[in-house]
């Protein structure tokens, strides 16, 4: 009778993770090991790179396409499962219909770790059934210069608070543990000092001594390790001339040896390639591969040249195969602990549709928007007295703009191709939507956009002024725009852009009580006319339920309790300005 080959030890779930990992590693070729150390982008339909290179991880892939990728990985010689990552930054960013929460900076204003844990839990429950195992969140960077485009992704400027809020999100994302099918891995990023920018420019040189790192920038990351975070991500910047991806002291001596981090360290997008073509600290990809691995990186995000570079390094004797084995072991160990060899966690679209439509998820989002709202100023106008206010003019470019309300890292933002579309309009309650929904039948609500943020066209101001003159109170919703925020989109100024200052000045001249509502990614320099308003409410980017929460505050249903975790400047020339200096 023909004899069947015995089941490989690495396929036996009864064995320990260490036994399974060691058995699998013994069976792997050098090429398979190097493939595991690579994370490939999978936005294109062609997935033929999976059987060719056998990558360990993919990003930017969702839904049924994930299942195609999982099947291709299962058909390779050893059938090593994929680890699928995605940017779930304040909700499942790029899944149409997902719950999009307030941004990190907005959530921080709640000062409520329990709320942030709920946000992480909801996000994980919506990500997992779309085939995602891993979110690249939370951001643990300290805000320093507000001109930096990624300010809204931070929790603000206090190291202790950042650590507490990050730990809460991590607990929410990672749920009951690595084998929890409703959980996703969390990522502590960007390690470390990425937000210490020169002139607010993104990914510039960070002039940080080790003392400064240990005093301010490292404590939040150490808190993340204590909270059980399973992945770290490096930043784009250099510190004292050394790219973070090459900083062995930071990646190995502190993170892995001193703090005992047992998870996986991934580079940010093409960080290894940047060392050759941008930072120019390596002459070849072979040299970059050697230095990146020796510094302590485990997984290389989107640097296809790493594959040949690492192969050449081993074949030429510049790198030993044992130096490939070490990071490969860390990644395989994580996959075994997650149970991916038994359950690769395929996408289940019917389950995903159920999760994204849950009313309790919407309720968590509304509570997050409520607790994130900050009342900066009130001379007694709020809450509005229905006996005195019979008509309201709602004006401003962000009063009815769902994209600006959701902010960065959502469908329609610069991080995703325009052809992917945007979140369904009906999922978002804008400020105008919220006011109309809560207004009594006897309250007349007039709307005029007034002006643009992205150009200086003032032609809409007369209509806004006419609406204001005809009403008892004016609610002006101003702020910033996706064109001016996010990765690489740092600004030279913090002033309100486009025609917004002219709009506010024209509204003030009507003499009608003015409420200024800020829908913005970060603190902006407020003109005198805004600071003289009867009331100022800071929403930041409040997510899908932000308009409901704001309307509740106007009409007295909600008493805003949010508190800032970041400083407002009077002038851009003050930068950097933060309290702990």
**What are the residue ranges of helices labelled H in 357-482?**
359-372, 402-406, 431-438, 461-469
Name the one residue in this structure whose structure tokens are 């956009």: 449
Please list, in sequence order, all residues whose beta carbon lies within 8 angstroms of the beta carbon of residue 532, skipping any fewer than 6 positions away: 508
Helices and strands: H and E segment counts in the chain: 22, 16
Question: Catalytic pick from 158, 268, 298, 400?
Answer: 268
268 among known catalytic residues = yes
Contact (CB, 8 A) for 283 and 304: no
- Whether cis (ω within 30° of 0) applies to the bond prior to 192 is yes
For residues 449 and 400, the answer to whether their CB atoms sit within 8 Å is yes
**Structure tokens that stand for 100 in this block:** 């999009």
Which one, of 223, 106, 190, lies nearest residue 565 by Cα? Answer: 106
H helix intervals, 143-301:
159-174, 210-212, 219-226, 248, 271-277, 285-295
The residue assigned the tokens 């309009």 is: 425
CA distance 396 to 399: 5
Nearest CA among 220, 123, 218 for reference residue 166? 220
Sheet-wide strand order for 264-266: 187-191, 231-234, 264-266
CA distance 489 to 136: 20
Q: What is the DSSP letter of 9?
A: G
**Environment class of 417 (CB within 10 Å of its CB; exposed 0-12, middle 13-18, buried 19+):** exposed
Give the 3-state secondary structure of residue 177.
coil
Dist. CA 114–CA 111, nearest whole Å: 9
Spacing of C-alpha 86 from chain mean position:
10
- The Cα 390–Cα 359 span in angstroms is 33
At residue 536, the 3 state secondary structure works out as strand
C-alpha 397: how far from chain center: 25
Measured in residues, the chain has a length of 581
Alpha carbons within 13 A on the beta-carbon side of 180: 17
Enzyme catalytic residues: 268
């Amino acid at each position: 009778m023909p004899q069947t080959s015995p089941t490989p030890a690495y396929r036996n779930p009864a064995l320990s993770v260490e036994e399974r990992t060691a058995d699998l590693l013994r069976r792997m070729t050098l090429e398979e090991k190097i493939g595991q150390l690579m994370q490939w982008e999978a936005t294109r339909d062609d997935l033929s790179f999976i059987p060719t290179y056998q990558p360990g991880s993919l990003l930017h892939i969702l839904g049924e396409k994930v299942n195609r990728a999982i099947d291709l990985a299962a058909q390779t010689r050893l059938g090593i499962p994929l680890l699928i990552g995605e940017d779930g930054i304040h909700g499942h960013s790029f899944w149409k219909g997902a719950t999009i929460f307030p941004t990190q900076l907005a959530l921080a204003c709640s000062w409520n770790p329990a709320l942030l844990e709920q946000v992480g839990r909801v996000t994980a429950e919506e990500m997992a059934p779309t085939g995602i195992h891993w979110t690249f969140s939370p951001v643990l960077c300290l805000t320093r210069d507000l001109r930096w485009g990624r300010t809204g992704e931070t929790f603000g400027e206090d190291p202790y608070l950042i650590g507490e809020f990050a730990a809460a999100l991590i607990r929410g994302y990672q749920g009951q543990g690595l084998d929890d099918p409703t959980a996703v891995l969390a990522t502590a990023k960007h390690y470390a000092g990425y937000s210490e920018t020169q002139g607010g420019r993104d990914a510039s040189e960070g002039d940080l001594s080790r003392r400064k790192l240990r005093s301010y920038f490292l404590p939040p990351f150490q808190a993340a390790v204590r909270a059980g975070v399973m992945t770290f991500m490096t930043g784009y910047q250099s510190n004292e001339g050394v790219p973070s991806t090459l900083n062995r002291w930071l990646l190995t001596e502190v993170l892995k040896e001193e703090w005992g981090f047992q998870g996986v360290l991934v580079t940010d997008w093409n960080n290894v390639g940047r060392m050759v073509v941008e930072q120019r600290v390596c002459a070849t990809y072979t040299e970059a591969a050697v230095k990146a691995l020796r510094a302590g990186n485990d997984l290389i995000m989107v640097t296809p040249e790493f594959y040949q570079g690492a192969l050449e390094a081993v074949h030429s004797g510049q790198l030993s195969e044992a130096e490939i084995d070490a990071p490969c072991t860390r990644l395989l160990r994580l996959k075994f602990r997650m149970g991916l060899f038994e359950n690769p966690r395929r996408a289940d679209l019917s389950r995903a549709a159920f999760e994204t439509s849950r009313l309790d998820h919407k309720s968590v989002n509304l509570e997050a928007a409520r607790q994130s709202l900050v009342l900066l100023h009130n001379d007694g106008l709020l809450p509005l007295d229905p006996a005195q206010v019979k008509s309201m003019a709602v004006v401003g470019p962000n009063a009815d703009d769902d994209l600006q309300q959701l902010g960065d890292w959502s469908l329609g933002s610069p991080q995703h191709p325009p052809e992917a579309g945007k979140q369904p309009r009906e999922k978002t309650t804008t400020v105008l939507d919220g006011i109309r929904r809560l207004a009594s039948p006897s309250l007349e609500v007039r709307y005029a956009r007034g002006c643009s943020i992205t150009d200086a066209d003032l032609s809409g101001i007369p209509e806004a002024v006419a609406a204001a003159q005809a009403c008892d109170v004016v609610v002006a919703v101003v702020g910033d725009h996706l064109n001016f925020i996010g990765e690489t989109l740092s600004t030279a100024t913090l002033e309100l852009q486009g025609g917004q200052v002219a709009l506010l000045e024209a509204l003030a001249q009507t003499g009608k009580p003015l409420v200024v509502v800020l829908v913005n990614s970060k603190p902006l320099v407020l003109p005198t006319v805004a600071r003289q308003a009867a009331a100022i409410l800071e929403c930041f980017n409040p997510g899908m339920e932000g308009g409901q929460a704001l309307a509740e505050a106007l009409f007295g249903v909600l008493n805003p309790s949010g508190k800032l975790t970041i400083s407002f400047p009077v002038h851009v020339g003050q930068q950097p300005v933060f309290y702990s200096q």
